[in-house]
Amino acid sequence: GAVVSQHPSRVICKSGTSVKIECRSLDFQATTMFWYRQFPKQSLMLMATSNEGSKATYEQGVEKDKFLINHASLTLSTLTVTSAHPEDSSFYICSAREGPKLSGELFFGEGSRLTVL
């Protein structure tokens, strides 16, 4: 099946620094990627929809300037957490859908655990 790779899988950073997380579709082209956030023992909450070549669409309550999303190619989307603070510590998961198919199974990355000290 299709593979979505996230990097890094774990990252620890100091408060105030920025962290970039990459999401790559390895064997298919993804015109749309989604970024989710998961707090411990909770469900996945959609943060934003990343569309190749255009601006991301953010969910209500998600700060655009804090969570920068770039989808520069059909196989790569990046999430940058700017000026990270301890409350940004979370598990971030990306997912990608192959092309615009309506029967769209989403393929998920393995997730990136961010810890802000």
Partner 1 sequence: AQSVTQPDIHITVSEGASLELRCNYSYGATPYLFWYVQSPGQGLQLLLKYFSGDTLVQGIKGFEAEFKRSQSSFNLRKPSVHWSDAAEYFCAVGGGGRRALTFGSGTRLQVQP
Residues in touch with partner 1 (CB under 8 A):
6, 31-32, 34, 36, 41-46, 49, 51, 91, 93, 95, 97, 100-106, 108-111, 113
- 10 Å CB burial of residue 90 (0-12, 13-18, 19+) is buried
In the complex, the smallest distance separating the C-beta of residue 87 from partner 1, rounded to whole angstroms, is 20
Nearer to partner 1, 12 or 83 (CB): 12
Residues paired with residue 25 on neighbouring β-strands, in sequence order: 4
Nearer to partner 1, 18 or 72 (CB): 72
Amino acid identity of residue 6, one-letter, is Q
Which phi and psi (to 5°) does residue 26 adopt? -85, -30
What span, in angstroms and rounded, lies between the C-alpha atoms of 94 and 21?
Answer: 9
In the complex, the smallest distance separating the C-beta of residue 110 from partner 1, rounded to whole angstroms, is 4
In the complex, the smallest distance separating the C-beta of residue 16 from partner 1, rounded to whole angstroms, is 26
Strands 32-38 and 44-51: antiparallel
Nearer to partner 1, 53 or 102 (CB): 102
Nearer to partner 1, 24 or 97 (CB): 97
